[in-house]
Structure 1
Amino acid sequence: MSTSAQQAIKGGASVYKPDGETLRQFLLNRTALLLCIQGPEGSGKSTASAMKLWMSAIRQAPQKDGIRRTRMLVVRNTFNDLKLTTVQTWKRLFPPETYGQFLETAPFCHKIRAGDVECDVWFVALDDEGALHKVLSLEFTSIWVNEARELPRRVIGGLWRRRGRFPAVMDGGPSYPIMILDTNAPADDHWIPIMRGDVPIPSKLSDDEKRELVKPEGWEFWNQPGGLVEITDDAGNHVRFEPNPVAENTAWLPGGKNFYLEAARGQTIHDVRIALCNKLGRSRTGKPVFPMFRPDLHIAKQPLQPVEGHPILVGVDFGLTPAAVFGQHVMGRWLILHELVAEDDAGMGAVTFAPLLKAELASRFPGFKFSLFGDPAGDQRAQSDERSPFMIFRACGLPIQPAPTNDTTVRKEAVEAELNRLVNGYPAFLISPTCPRYAASMEWGYRYRKMKLAGADRYTDQPVKDEHSHVNDAGQYLLIGGGAGRALLTGSAEPKKPTNTRTAYRPFAKPTGKPRRW
């Protein structure tokens, strides 16, 4: 930093000293063009990001008149978050009375004039399309995206193209143009952990979408230690949270390392894992259809095996992204054993999916009788094909039958009833950990969309239709077809005459292996 700038800010904010090795490495790096830092709440990542932006300003080479001119952009997903959080962090570090005038009307701008540093810092919320289009037409030296998990990859790409554009080449060009991203732990299907290499690129994406998720040269990622560590028993069950001895920024937090224990009080385990332990978590936007689903109760600790003497029940949802869920009803309990979800980028019809499902039954459940239940709409012929999905399945040797109802309320209440039941102290509904898609849909993926209305939170009447809904609908058809919710349909909890499973189709003449008992 120049001597004149040092003199100009004397008496301003206290000297910043990062508390933590990850923060230090993030700040000391001079080779990365995009720097992304992830950490728990209170880890100092926003402060470090603001200081990194300031470093871009003071490293700018002076122009002919001796002034280091730069233009910065700071963005946040919503105006309220920008005004109440991001701007306040910035003004605490760079008080206007020391660094120069701060324009308090949107778009906010801090006109820093400190010695030989002349830096305009613009603050923009991207919650309206007009603001985004405006930003993407401007030129900046460096950009800071605060809470980057809230912005899609393509918006980041658009912002990236606006850095390194000021000052103009005729005025010397930018000396240290960078893009800074800070974020709390995102969902496990977010582009940040995928690009960082924590999560594989989903095969269902198009080639262009996959290319967007490959880490470009010069993009670097830092991940801070969590503020807490989770202690579990030998079976993997949660026991407690403890302060992480290597947590960062605790020197600047009230209570030091105990700050995080206090912050965890009254919070759900899921929220603590994401916000305070810095662990990836499933997206929780909207309102879950099954809020009573508890992963610690309803997901088995070990893979479930099929139980001899009980048929395999299969629920099937059709469409361009069909899905099937396999399970059994054993002594009053629903055991979800396996899932099959289409991942064809161009879509997959019943003609392709039926033989895949048949092969799956043959390889995973040899010797078992089975029953298939599908979306009742599958009995209707498509405009592009004279055969219905049910006709295609039956022609493939799969005697599928329509589920008793397609009423979403009945299906939902039938699943809820099983989630709320225990059988001899054990959950009446249990998913094998080998069914990650179905488990994700039950936990939060199958949800109602939040409506953009003023006042109290309101949600759509029907669940969102996406990759989570298909596999969840298949699970509902399994339960309804297998007898769950019978009282809702008939007014009687007594089962109807059972299906004669002796006549059920068997994919092979002889069993290829004796299934283990569960």
Structure 2
Amino acid sequence: MPETLDFELTPTQYAFVTSEAHIVQLMGPMGEGKTFAGVAGLIAHAARCGKDIRTALVRDTFQNIKTSTIPDLRDYLGAWVRFSDGDKKAAILSSPRVEIDLFGIDDDAALSKLQGPQYAAIWLEEPAPIIEKANAGLPVSVFDMAIARAARQRGTVLRVQVTQNPSDDEHWTSELAEEPDGVYASYEDPFTGEVFEIVKRTFWIQAGENRFLSGLTRAANIAAFKKDPAKYARYVEGKTAEVYKGKKVTPGYNPAIHFSSQILPVLEGEAFQFWDSWQFPTCVLAQYSARGQLIVHDAVLKEGVGTKELIEEELEPFLRTRKWKDKVKSWRIIGDFSMRTPDQSSVRSSAAKYLEKRFGSRFEPGPARWTTIREHLNHCFKRLINEGEPAVILSRSAVKLHKALKGGWHYKVDNSGRRVEGSDKPVKDQHSHPGDAFANGISVLMPYQGLAPVKNISRKDNMRTAMSYRGGNFGRSAGQQKRGGGF
């Protein structure tokens, strides 16, 4: 066995490996060394913890681990790695040592594999599907469970690392990548006031960064995927592939203009709650800046609960985080007009009345007709303030609304791309709820007045105007000038 185990890392790989964030995601094109960086990441984490660690490597199937990941581990580590138990366990003989459980999880029923052992790190390898149905990838529930289980080994620090080719923009890993780097979740000790934070970072390897990948291999990747724009984006360019679902509800929304690259700070003063209710309640949080720009900070939503449950379980804990705590002095609450109807929050109250009582503010309903809402919505992205700034901007933290506005919120279309007859309203899905909540708020705060009405002119006045021009403009002007003294 060689005396030393050396890794020559690219700048992006090095940043990923040495990051002290608790959730680290490495995205990039095919062949750029993501698995290589993942191996180095586990070894570096053992050194960070200062003790031998137990870890797990998870893919969608164990067969994919045997045919792809294990050969890579043997290639990278050579005599430094040992496999046992039918290749279901591995040990990296570094100092400190890294023990690895290897297994596949292809559905929620297999999650129990993560529940027993106490891990210091969990590595999710290629969680996004390559081909639908043939390779299902990892469900988001695996990621959620990994966060909980990777903090169990005593005397270690949590690390969940995700290495992958980019997914399409509907996959949960795409949403994770679009989440702003920084605090992913936090907890405040009610007795000491100490705040504990889980930090997330996403790293992107650029195409061509791995100088050890041959030009012929790169050419082969181009040839393999050149006929499929989505796969070309993911595996050659290293970009998220857009999924076209239908005609966009908000074609005027331009992420380059309306989606900030940073998390914008919450300002002290008044703030807005924009609501959509029923069985997928959504609250969009926004406020005006001193310049008059509407800043959309966050979208809080949860499927299968009522408005009351969303507030108690999600919204109020979120408003107690450092980002929002003690910032809002008063609320304006705007929402779907149907929220005034009883039985959405309880049999004794409407959702609107519950909101009024909970936050001490009057509920303002949005328009009842979709055609009216649509006019207000389409116009808001055309508005400018000051020196050409957009009137509306989304903070980097408003990811769920961003995904809706950029195309997730859509009208149903036929195979030729034309809107299906009778589908005058957007499709109802996970994107429509933040879209509807936002649209209600915009309709009240930024109503589109349309063009100024044209005054009706009588037939007599029309004839009088026409007769005044019967000599032509030149003759009329000449006559006026002649009466005024000529040339």
Alignment TM-score, normalising by the size of structure 2: 0.47
Using structure 1 for the length normalisation, give the TM-score. Answer: 0.44
